[in-house]
């Protein structure tokens, strides 16, 4: 294996369809109009020396190293900033050019420390490479003269250092922060020889606006910005392409390695989801994989009050199988079930649901999508006929109006957030529908045209009012609707939304959104060109989550914003493989590819391949499993890669359900909160330790590749396989590719997917089958999957969760950039420097009324329970609304959330909880004893004691 080197063509690819023919160094070539001479030369294999240019950034033309001669033109223009012209004749190497380039390099080197041998970038430094490329052998000016200002090293960022002594002031970092990341955290302070790169107003990196995405580090051609891991470990010697295991953007990375140790993760330029960009999580937060708290041996215990006993894999698997068989013999076939994980691969998820359907003999399988995007599945399949977003991420580059509802991409989907910001800086308009003033409402060079700060729980009212404006003001695309949708259903829907009770003026009192703003936003979406809707959990995690998804689908159909690039309905998925987990048949009523278990033909297909009879009755959802456990009829649970105690609503009820079971099996990396109630712990593997695929939010199936051996000895799919065998259910696979072959045989939308195709294409978006062998970037182009698009009437029904004198505020929850989900991984990395604890955001008005100061402990109480955390006073939230994250188990925000849920899918109503906030002196009693309880439930007997 060797390091995978990506060619840097110096300037971005031109997308023009007009072609230009020219001659470079005597060779004739044809390239798209707008291509730079540098790139054209690079594409024919001639690397023109360069320092300030890189193909992730627009040409800048400051270093003067890339000079060329052009026939008929005076001087020596920079090849990075000069576009090709028809008939142009270019020379890239002449005596004059050699002399000029050497002169430029001499100046750079005369001002550079001569410590190459001990420099962390030695061997991976473009300055060093360019000195070699221009044949520099000595420097006439010596090194004694005046040097650039050196404000001293900045090591404040936990992941990279800034050493200004090595800076050549090429501005690549500044431009990367602006053009790629869109944060504008860096500037060049000073002028001329005194120029120096500065984060913010001469702050440290950590103290500045920097979000630690790593784009500047990647862009830096010298050792000025360097990953600390490279300084510590040394230069990598081989690399493997794989996919980030954090969020649903699904960024592709090059894992750069020394032996079995990861040196750094570098975003892969050919990654179709991220196009060479990353965020702080995927780029830097992989240290959890070797964290000391990882459990590497299987463990069992007879009772949850006993300490854990480490056992062999054989004993753990045999014990689990015998317990599950005992429970089924005593309480019946339906008394056990399992939960698949959106963090595991498609292949692993497919095996878990196969084990449950085929080995347990029931359909008691559910997944964590139950608590996030299950309404997306339901809402989009009802209206369009398929349970997924309609576009690829590239589509945003053609959007003219972006309607963002209940999503906060710069925190939760950061790389897509950066792509969105880029399009907004190019002039697309933005409408934000969110109770909070999220970053995108106003961020450098981006300002939303409209922010509709609705009251939590009123999405349906607001979207129906937008539809009211579109229909009553004649803004619907009637031609599109007549051709593509069911016309009768459209008319029913149109007369429903046109009712004056749905007018913006009528719903203003309910939603808190000024009618004029709502009208203006609706007009903009309907008439502003390509209108693209992006939404998140602020849409789905409501008692009307499915209704809101249908209201969104209605808006897109009514305005003809579906079925082409630049438009569409795009759910931004939280976890890396939440789309895949749903696709793989993780819901109790569906086989892979969203086919109902009651369908005889489909079921028989699975039965004949799996060799067992399958149940035609849907099984239990997660909340039903917990209810049944409390009722004493559900006794055994296999949980792969989820922490339902921390992530599911109404913690007390979850705990009661788990405590009532006789065998809870947790398969995970760490002893999570759910494991406090487990009898068997099976150590899982990280994404670095296994092969498989993830499917991201744009339906893109991408390879996960093993870069190091599994620390626990088994990949998660191998654990499920062993358990199936022990249960007497036959499954045989030598490699995850064989599992994918089976998925393809059984799932029409995956019929054309294979590891060979993924190797060849990099990735494909489902549906990938005979009709679309290379996948489907944009769906519903010629017609909806279900035939005619279906308009659904979306009556607004207020949630039963009401504010009142006891609980006058509304709590809504969300995520923060540096943390991920329940924090199991990110809390075990340096990312904690940005978020040491969950805080409660309160508007100054609410804080003042309660005498609460910024940073003070407050008690957060609801009908379900109470917790304490510190207050953050901010105008990001409106008066009457409070907000927190749920990343820390010591806070457990879900202690206060209720068991209200979406009417169609049971997705919990995390986003609306009536609460009261009052000043307090510190953590509540349960929080104070939390660490002791956690320690006690995590006791592991030393091996000697265990053997006795």
Interface residues with ligand FES (CB under 6 A) are: 50-53, 61-66, 78, 80
CB 64 to ligand FES: min, Å:
5
Strand partners, 811: 882, 913
Q: Answer yes or no: are the C-beta atoms of 615 and 597 closer than 8 Å.
A: yes
Distance CA 663, CA 669 (A): 19
Q: Which is nearer to ligand SF4, 547 or 702 (CB)?
A: 702
The answer to whether 655 touches 686, Cβ cutoff 8 Å, is no
CA distance 414 to 539: 19
Beta carbon of residue 267, minimum distance to ligand SF4 (angstroms, whole number): 7
Which of ligand SF4, ligand FES, none sits in contact with 244, Cβ below 5 to 8 A by type? ligand SF4
**Structure tokens that stand for 302 in this block:** 């007879």
Of 80 and 915, the one with the shorter C-beta distance to ligand FES is 80
Q: Could you tell which of ligand FES, ligand SF4, none binds residue 250, using a CB distance below 5 to 8 A set by kind?
A: ligand SF4
C-beta of 75 vs 152, nearer to ligand FES: 75
When computed from its CA atoms, the radius of gyration of the chain, rounded to whole angstroms, is: 29
Would you say 98 or 330 has its CB closer to ligand FES?
A: 98
The CA–CA distances, whole Å, from 668 to 313, 314, 352, 428, 644 equal: 14, 18, 14, 43, 12
Cβ atoms of 701 and 744 closer than 8 Å: no
Look at residue 172 and give the partner it binds from ligand SF4, ligand FES, none, a contact being a CB closer than 5 to 8 Å depending on partner kind.
Answer: ligand SF4
CB of 62 to ligand FES, least distance (A): 6
Partner touching 51 among ligand SF4, ligand FES, none, CB below 5 to 8 Å by kind = ligand FES
The string over 214-248, giving b where at least 16 C-beta atoms fall within 10 Å of a residue's C-beta and e elsewhere, is bbbbbbbbbbbbbbbbbbebeebeebbbbbbbbbb
Beta-carbon contacts of residue 44 (< 8 Å; ≥ 6 apart): 24, 27, 29
Residue 446 contacts which entry, ligand SF4, ligand FES, none (Cβ below 5-8 A, type-dependent): none
Residue 524 contacts which entry, ligand SF4, ligand FES, none (Cβ below 5-8 A, type-dependent): none
Nearer Cβ to ligand SF4 (181/602): 181
63 binds, among ligand FES, ligand SF4, none (CB under 5 to 8 A by kind): ligand FES
3-state secondary structure of 85: coil
- Residue 415 interacts with which of ligand FES, ligand SF4, none, CB < 5 to 8 Å by class: ligand SF4
**Residue 758 binding target from ligand SF4, ligand FES, none, CB below 5 to 8 Å by type:** none
Question: Cβ closer to ligand FES: 4 or 107?
Answer: 107
Are 882 and 456 in contact, with CB atoms under 8 Å apart? no
CB of 212 to ligand SF4, least distance (A): 5
Minimum CB separation of residue 359 from ligand SF4 in Å reads 33
Distance CA 53, CA 38 (A): 9
Q: Which does 582 bind (CB under 5 to 8 A by kind): ligand SF4, ligand FES, none?
A: none
Say how far apart CA 29 and CA 299 lie, in whole Å: 64
Max Cα-Cα span within the chain: 92
Pick what 556 binds: ligand FES, ligand SF4, none; C-beta below 5 to 8 Å, kind-dependent: none
Phi, psi for residue 805 in degrees, rounded to 5: -60, -35
Closer CB to ligand FES, 67 or 816, in the complex:
67
Other C-beta atoms lying within 10 Å of the C-beta of residue 529: 14
In angstroms, give the least distance from the CB of 625 to ligand SF4: 30
Smallest distance, Å, CB 664 to ligand FES? 60
Cβ proximity to ligand SF4: between 339 and 697 the closer is 697
CB of 181 to ligand SF4, least distance (A): 5
Q: Where are the beta strands (DSSP E) in 369-445?
A: 401-405, 429-433, 442-443
Query: Rounded to the nearest whole angstrom, what is the least distance from the CB of residue 195 to ligand FES in the complex?
Result: 15
Which does residue 219 touch among ligand FES, ligand SF4, none (CB within 5 to 8 A, set by kind)? ligand SF4
DSSP per-residue codes, 271-322: -TTTTT---HHHHH--GGGG-TT---S-EE-SSTTSPBEE--HHHHHHHHHH
Which of ligand FES, ligand SF4, none has residue 585 at its interface (CB below 5 to 8 Å by kind)? none
- How far from 658 is each of 15, 629, 631, 901, CA to CA, in Å? 55, 7, 12, 20
Nearest distance in Å: CB 818, ligand SF4: 10
Enter the DSSP assignment of 777.
S
Q: What's the min distance (Å) between Cβ of 55 and ligand FES?
A: 11
Q: Residue 782 to residues 480, 530, 785: CA-CA distances in angstroms?
A: 11, 17, 9
Query: Which of 127, 224, 121, 217 lies closest to 176 in space, CA to CA?
Result: 217
Q: Is 631 helix (H, G, I), strand (E, B) or coil?
A: coil
Closest CA to 120 of 150, 148, 155: 155
CB of residue 7 vs ligand SF4: minimum separation in angstroms?
19
**78 contacts which partner out of ligand FES, ligand SF4, none, CB within 5 to 8 A by kind?**
ligand FES
CB 689, min distance to ligand SF4, A:
17
Which single residue is written with the structure tokens 């995520």?
A: 815
Closer to ligand SF4 by CB, 179 or 489: give it.
179
The residue (of 68 and 441) whose beta carbon lies closer to ligand FES is: 68
Q: Which is nearer to ligand FES, 51 or 280 (CB)?
A: 51
**How many residues in the chain?**
948
| Smallest distance, ligand SF4 to C-beta of residue 703, A | 14
From the list ligand SF4, ligand FES, none, partner contacted by residue 884 (C-beta under 5 to 8 A by kind): none
How far is 915 from 801, CA to CA, in rounded Å?
A: 10
Nearest residue (beta carbon) to ligand SF4: 282
- Give 62 or 382: the residue with its C-beta nearer to ligand FES: 62
Q: What angle do CA 135, 137, 143 make, to 5 degrees?
A: 125
809 binds, among ligand FES, ligand SF4, none (CB under 5 to 8 A by kind): none
Give CA–CA dist 606/616, Å, rounded.
12
Task: Say whether the peptide bond before residue 767 is cis (omega within 30 degrees of 0).
Answer: yes
The residue among 80 and 914 lying less far from ligand FES, judged by its C-beta, is 80
Q: Which of 911, 889, 898 is nearest to 822 (CA)?
A: 889
Sites of contact with ligand SF4 (CB under 6 A): 167-173, 176-177, 181, 183, 185-186, 197, 210-216, 219-222, 224-225, 244, 246-247, 249-251, 274, 278-279, 281-282, 413-415
Asked if residues 363 and 589 have their Cβ atoms less than 8 Å apart, the reply is: yes
Least CB distance to ligand SF4 at residue 183 (A): 4
The least CB distance from residue 576 to ligand SF4, in Å, is 6
DSSP class of residue 441?
Answer: G
In the complex, minimum distance from the CB of residue 113 to ligand FES, in angstroms, rounded to a whole number: 21
Is-contact 238 1, C-beta < 8 A? yes
Residue 80 binding result from ligand FES, ligand SF4, none, given CB thresholds of 5 to 8 Å by partner type: ligand FES
């Amino acid at each position: 294996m060797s390091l995978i080197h990506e060619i840097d063509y110096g300037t971005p690819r031109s997308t023009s369809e007009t072609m230009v023919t020219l001659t470079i160094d005597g060779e004739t070539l044809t390239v798209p109009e707008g291509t730079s001479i540098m790139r054209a030369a690079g594409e024919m294999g001639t690397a023109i020396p360069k320092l300030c240019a890189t193909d992730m950034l627009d040409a800048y033309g400051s270093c003067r190293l890339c000079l060329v001669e052009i026939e008929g033109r005076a001087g020596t223009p920079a090849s990075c900033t000069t576009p090709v012209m028809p008939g142009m004749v270019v020379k890239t190497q002449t005596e004059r050019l050699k002399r000029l380039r050497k002169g430029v390099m001499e100046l750079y080197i005369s001002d550079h420390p001569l410590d190459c041998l001990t420099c962390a970038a030695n061997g991976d430094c473009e300055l060093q490479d360019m000195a070699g490329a221009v044949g520099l052998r000595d420097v006439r000016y010596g090194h004694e003269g005046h040097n650039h200002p050196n404000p001293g090293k900045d090591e404040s960022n936990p992941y990279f250092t800034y050493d200004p002594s090595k800076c050549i002031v090429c501005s690549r970092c500044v431009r990367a922060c602006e053009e790629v990341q869109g944060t504008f955290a860096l500037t060049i302070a000073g002028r001329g020889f005194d120029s120096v790169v500065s984060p913010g107003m001469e702050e440290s990196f950590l103290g500045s606006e920097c979000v630690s995405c790593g784009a500047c580090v990647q862009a830096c051609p010298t050792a000025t910005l360097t990953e600390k891991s490279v300084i510590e470990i040394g230069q990598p010697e081989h690399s493997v392409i794989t996919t980030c295991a954090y969020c649903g953007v699904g960024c592709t990375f090059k894992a750069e390695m020394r032996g079995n140790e990861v040196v750094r993760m570098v975003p892969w330029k050919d990654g179709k989801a991220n196009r060479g960009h990353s965020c702080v999580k995927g780029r830097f937060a992989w240290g959890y994989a070797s964290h000391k708290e990882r459990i590497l041996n299987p463990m069992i215990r007879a009772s949850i009050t006993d300490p854990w006993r480490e056992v062999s894999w054989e004993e753990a698997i045999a014990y689990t199988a015998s317990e599950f068989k005992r429970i089924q013999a005593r309480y019946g076939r339906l008394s056990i079930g399992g939960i698949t994980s959106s963090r595991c691969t498609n292949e692993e998820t497919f095996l878990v649901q196969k084990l449950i359907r085929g080995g347990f003999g029931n359909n008691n399988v559910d997944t964590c999508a139950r608590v996030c995007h299950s309404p997306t599945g339901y809402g989009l399949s009802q209206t369009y006929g398929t349970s997924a977003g309609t576009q690829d991420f590239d589509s945003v580059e053609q959007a003219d109006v972006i309607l963002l509802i209940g999503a906060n991409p710069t925190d939760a989907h950061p790389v897509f957030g950066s792509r969105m910001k880029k399009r907004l800086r190019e002039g697309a308009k933005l409408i934000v529908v969110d109770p909070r003033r999220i970053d995108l409402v106003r961020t450098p060079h981006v300002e939303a045209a409209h922010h509709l700060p609705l009251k939590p729980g009123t999405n349906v009212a607001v979207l129906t009012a937008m539809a009211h404006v579109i229909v009553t003001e004649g803004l619907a695309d009637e031609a599109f609707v007549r051709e593509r949708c069911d016309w009768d259903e459209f008319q029913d829907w149109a007369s429903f939304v046109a009712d004056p009770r749905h007018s913006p003026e009528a719903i203003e009192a309910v939603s808190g959104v000024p009618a004029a703003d709502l009208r203006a936003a609706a007009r903009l979406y309907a008439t502003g060109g390509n209108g693209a809707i992006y939404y998140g959990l602020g849409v789905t995690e409501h008692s009307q989550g499915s209704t809101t998804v249908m209201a969104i689908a209605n808006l897109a159909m009514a305005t003809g914003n579906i079925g082409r690039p630049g438009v569409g309905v795009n759910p931004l998925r939280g976890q890396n493989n939440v789309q895949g987990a749903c696709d793989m048949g993780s819901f109790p009523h569906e086989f892979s590819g969203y086919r109902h278990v009651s369908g005889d033909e489909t079921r028989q297909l699975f039965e004949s391949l799996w060799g067992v009879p399958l149940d035609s009755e849907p099984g239990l959802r997660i909340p039903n499993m917990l209810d049944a456990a409390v009722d004493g009829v559900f006794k055994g649970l296999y949980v792969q890669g989820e922490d339902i105690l921390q992530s599911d609503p109404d913690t007390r009820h979850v705990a009661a359900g788990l405590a009532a079971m006789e065998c809870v099996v947790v398969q995970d990396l760490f002893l999570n909160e759910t494991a406090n109630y487990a009898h068997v712990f099976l150590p899982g593997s990280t994404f670095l330790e296994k092969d498989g695929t993830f499917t991201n939010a744009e339906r893109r199936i991408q390879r996960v590749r093993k870069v190091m051996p599994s620390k626990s000895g088994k990949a998660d799919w191998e654990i499920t396989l062993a358990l199936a065998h022990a249960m007497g259910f036959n499954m045989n696979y030598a490699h995850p590719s064989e599992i994918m072959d089976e998925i393809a045989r059984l799932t029409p939308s995956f019929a054309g997917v294979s590891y060979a195709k993924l190797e060849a294409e990099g990735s494909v978006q489902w549906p990938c089958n005979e009709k679309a062998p290379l996948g489907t970037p944009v769906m519903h182009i010629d017609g909806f999957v279900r035939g005619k698009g279906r308009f659904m009437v979306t009556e607004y029904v207020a949630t039963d969760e009401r504010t009142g004198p006891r609980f006058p505020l509304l709590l809504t929850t969300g995520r923060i950039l540096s943390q991920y989900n329940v924090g199991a991984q990110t809390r075990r990395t340096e990312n904690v420097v940005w978020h040491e604890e969950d805080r409660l955001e309160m508007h100054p008005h609410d804080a003042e009324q309660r005498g609460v100061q910024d940073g003070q402990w407050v008690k957060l109480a609801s009908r379900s329970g109470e917790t304490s955390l510190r207050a953050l006073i901010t105008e990001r939230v409106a008066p009457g609304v409070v907000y927190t994250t749920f990343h820390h188990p010591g806070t457990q925000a879900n202690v206060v959330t209720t068991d209200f849920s979406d009417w169609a899918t049971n997705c919990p109503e995390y986003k609306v909880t009536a609460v009261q906030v009052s000043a307090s002196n510190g953590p509540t009693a349960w929080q104070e004893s939390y660490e002791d309880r956690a320690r006690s439930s995590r006791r592991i007997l030393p091996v000697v004691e265990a053997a006795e």
